[in-house]
Amino acid sequence: MDKITREQIELLIALQEKEAAALKIEVVLDGLPAKIAALEAGLKEFEDAITREKETLAELKKAYRSCDAEIQTNQARVKKREEQLRAVKTNKEYQVILKEVEEIKKISSRIEDETIACLEKIDAAENAVTEKQAAYLAEETEVKQQKVIFMTEADQQRQALNELLVQRDSLCEKIDDKIMRLYQNIKANARGIAVVQVKNCICMGCHMNIPPQMYNELHRENELRTCPHCHRMLYVVQ
Ligand SMILES: [Zn+2]
């Protein structure tokens, strides 16, 4: 049975606390790139939505220009027919041209309705783009601020981590090599927790009972005892 002093046990407990705190910070820091990427992805999605909105607007404007051009063409055709009307010789010819003029005007009227509907849609799309752009700018500012907050927090965390690592190294120096190796081995096999308290004969690592004799021996604090179930180093608080 290895001998261990109360001081060494306390050093191990402190070491374990520092290591657990450092690990917690490392997990937070490791998650930071994903948090920033999520913020940026949200912004990119917003940007894409605006691009799609602008594309819709451009399509509508194109449709409007096409309608407008058609109206102009039809107006020219009507004008031409009306000139022809003045020169016709027969009533039949007159009726034919007049019918053509009516047809063209009918088509023009339909296109004009389409143009009005198109203008309304352009108006709505322009408003949507303007609104979205304003919201985007607000979102962009928010994301920038959030990133600054994340970075500042990360700097503080890194500083705290460095302090913990310095404290850990200083504790390691005071721990016997043999005990340190044992601690590292148990830690590697016991999900990071190598030293656990025993309360009322129960190991706080695995929550199993330890033999009463071992419990009594632990109170003598001179021998290193490990849990028969989870194999962690045990200690009692006197
Ligand atoms: Zn145990």
Mean of pLDDT values over 78-99: 91
How far is the centre of ligand 1, averaged over its atoms, from the C-alpha of 205 (Å)? 5
How far is the centre of ligand 1, averaged over its atoms, from the C-alpha of 62 (Å)? 76
Q: Locate the domains of the chain by residue range.
A: 19-174, 176-238
How far is the centre of ligand 1, averaged over its atoms, from the C-alpha of 227 (Å)? 5
User: In this structure, what token pair is assigned to residue 225?
Assistant: 């005892």
pLDDT tens digits, one per residue of 209-238:
999 999 998 888 678 899 999 999 999 988
How far is the centre of ligand 1, averaged over its atoms, from the C-alpha of 207 (Å)? 6
How far is the centre of ligand 1, averaged over its atoms, from the C-alpha of 13 (Å)? 16
pLDDT tens digits, one per residue of 147-190:
999 999 999 999 999 999 999 999 999 999 999 999 999 999 99
What percentage of the chain has pLDDT greater than the value 70? 99
Domain 19-174 sits in CATH at: 1.10.287.1490
pLDDT of residue 20: 95
